[in-house]
Structure 1
Amino acid sequence: MKIGLLCGRELSFPPAFIDRVNDLGRAEGITAEFVSLGGTPISEPARYRVIVDRISHEVAYYRGYLKHAVLQGTYVINNPFWWSADDKFFNTSLAQKLGVAVPKTVLLPQKSYPQDVDITSESLRNLEYPIEWDALLNYVGRPAILKPFLGGGWKHVYKVHNKEELLEAYDRTGPYCMVLQEFIEFQQYVRC
């Protein structure tokens, strides 16, 4: 059985994962390697029995390939069909509803909108203005984290300590819908 690892700029996990799988699995015919892609014919059979995906949320081609691989019988860990389920606000709301302790979180509207999207003042008539920044900061506490509500990879993530830093960071977010979240001092950081 061949296991593929699809990853980005991570430096420690990928080689450790591949080495560990190869060390433990070789006697059983289980091997792991980095996935290598360069154009995917629709008739291409599955190259891997399992693919561990850690990057398709950032690269659309990888996501398309992984969906095709699933149809060919590959098990994909980190389901490519759920990539849009990385909505941090919804996921936090869902976790809270299920009884999981979550940081205080606020969904914020975009600072601006792409020029190719026809947004008028009427399109935004339901938004309250001005935003009550002080009240939102008081709710989540200081420091706080400002980050896009979709996506990952630590892009456009800001740790803010006061209203001035929040507004400065928010002004740089452009068309990204953002969440403002309570900063949690952690003893240990684990990612899944």
Structure 2
Amino acid sequence: MKEAAVADVEHTIGMLLGTEDDWPRAYEALLRRVGLVTGPDGKTHRANAVRVTIEPFNLRDKPRHDLVIDRLAYWYYHPREWLKKIALMDDVYLLNSPFTFQSMEKHAAYCAMLRLGLKIPETVLVPFKNPLENSRWAYTAARYNRPFDLEATAAAIGYPLWMKPYDGGAWVGVSKIRNEIELHAAYDASGERLMHLQASIEGYDVFARSLSIGPETMVMKFRPDQPMHARYEVDHNFLSASAGDEVVTISRLVNAFFRWEFNSCETLVRGDEVHPIDYANACPDVALTSLHYYFPWAMTALLRWTVFCVVTGRKPRLDTDTSRYFAIADDHSLGYAEKLAAYRKLADDYFEVDRYQEFCAKHLGNLDDIVYDWVTSEEFRSLLRETVRAMYPVHEHEKFLAHFGGLIDAWIRDQDR
């Protein structure tokens, strides 16, 4: 076997994972195929992917990682504290920042984007339906909780509306409310979960989900009423140029504002009006069986951004510098479009878009070919077969292998080769 060339600089990219195995295998395989990269410093660099294990750590331990892709710490606190330690003490680059998890609780993100003037639907946070398991609850509630009229609160927003957890994800606990009976049923079922009531954007033309990785964004037509394998519809012209650009700008703005670099946003588009409804996801969907046609793009973007970060020595920025964004929001001489343009410039500056594009063109110019060769290889088809067999019952294997295989074949045909 031919020995791999020795790099001047070796980088370790950690993957902090939960149950997923499909995209990590894809990322690992592609990173091996990338091999040596000559950086702007003239040295050769190699990035190696490792899966992070969870174990006791001394706060003075030195990590071996240059960058960590986090898919776990939004619910698992031990690795979250490890991420905070390696960010604060060791300057390890993180996708994503563990210091802005409040943005994942939809409430903080709603507040921030309202402050910036985005077209967020009318939203009200209502108190818990049931008492919390806390010895201080009864006294505090009796003294300070004011009675409120749930029906009047909903009526002020207007029907139909949505009830959704303030910190929710994966559509858990989300209900469409059309009348007072549904309102009370959903609120009674909410228990100890804090809930938002949010106005519904009726008569929208399209539901768009945008996946952003670093400075790259893919806007996809999303059908939430479909099963997961059919939610992303392959359609390259479902938005006008102006609406598409606004969706991209909002996605980049959210990510730069909260220092999130691996995130998805959801927007409802009615005509050319873009209404963000969910734009903070600690663990955005990048599964092969969800993204299918768009999966090769996601892996390419993730490779480009992570390699760029480690090879160029991009420094993590834990400070969010919100005052720069608020200065734009508070400038009453600017119209909405002008504010979006100013936000886009701040976001592009944060992501070093020009430097990134120059790096990719000069040092990763062969990456598209590498990804194409891999997607057309038996190694990829084997991954697809194993993923389908792990995801679906035996009697559905043939159906879904044909379904996803056809979508991947469509991606192959659409490449300019």
Give the partner amino acid of 2:75: E
- Aligned equivalent of 1:94: 112
Larger CA deviation: 68-77 vs 179-188: 179-188
Distance 1:137 1:146 in 2: 17
Partner of 1:3: helix, strand, or coil?
Answer: strand
Classify 1:102/1:9 alpha carbon distance in 2 versus 1 (closer, same or farther; 3 Å).
farther
- Aligned equivalent of 1:7: 17
- Aligned equivalent of 1:154: 170
Distance 2:19 2:171 in 1: 13
Matched, 1:32 2:41: no
Partner of 2:192: helix, strand, or coil?
Answer: coil
Q: Note if contact 2:161-2:198 (Cα within 8 Å) is conserved in structure 1.
A: no
Distance 1:14 1:141 in 2: 43
Partner of 2:164: helix, strand, or coil?
Answer: strand
- Aligned equivalent of 1:68: 85
Distance 1:183 1:11 in 2: 36
Classify 1:144/1:155 alpha carbon distance in 2 versus 1 (closer, same or farther; 3 Å).
closer
Larger CA deviation: 74-83 vs 117-126: 117-126
Matched, 1:108 2:155: no
Distance 2:141 2:61 in 1: 45
Give the partner amino acid of 1:159: S
Classify 1:141/1:118 alpha carbon distance in 2 versus 1 (closer, same or farther; 3 Å).
same
Q: Note if contact 2:83-2:98 (Cα within 8 Å) is conserved in structure 1.
A: yes
Structure 2's unaligned 5+ residue stretches are: 1-10, 38-45, 212-262, 264-417
Distance 1:169 1:18 in 2: 44
CA displacement, residues 95-140 of structure 1 (integer Å, 9 cap, x when unaligned): 0221222233211111123233312365355544342335425616
Q: Note if contact 1:3-1:48 (Cα within 8 Å) is conserved in structure 2.
A: yes
- Aligned equivalent of 1:187: 207
In the TM superposition, residue 18 of structure 1 has moved relative to its aligned partner by: 4.0
Larger CA deviation: 102-111 vs 162-171: 162-171
Classify 1:55/1:170 alpha carbon distance in 2 versus 1 (closer, same or farther; 3 Å).
farther
Q: Which of 48, 63, 68 is matched with 1:51 structurally?
A: 68
> How many residues are paired up?
189
Which structure has more relative contact order (CA 8 Å, sep 6+)? It is 1
Classify 1:12/1:137 alpha carbon distance in 2 versus 1 (closer, same or farther; 3 Å).
farther
Partner of 1:120: helix, strand, or coil?
Answer: helix
- Aligned equivalent of 2:253: none
Classify 1:14/1:109 alpha carbon distance in 2 versus 1 (closer, same or farther; 3 Å).
farther
- Aligned equivalent of 2:187: 170
- Percent identical: 22
Partner of 1:31: helix, strand, or coil?
Answer: strand
- Aligned equivalent of 1:119: 137
Q: CA RMSD in A?
A: 2.8
CA displacement, residues 133-161 of structure 1 (integer Å, 9 cap, x when unaligned): 354256164252421x23x4437422223
Q: Note if contact 1:145-1:183 (Cα within 8 Å) is conserved in structure 2.
A: no
Q: TM-score, normalised by structure 2?
A: 0.40
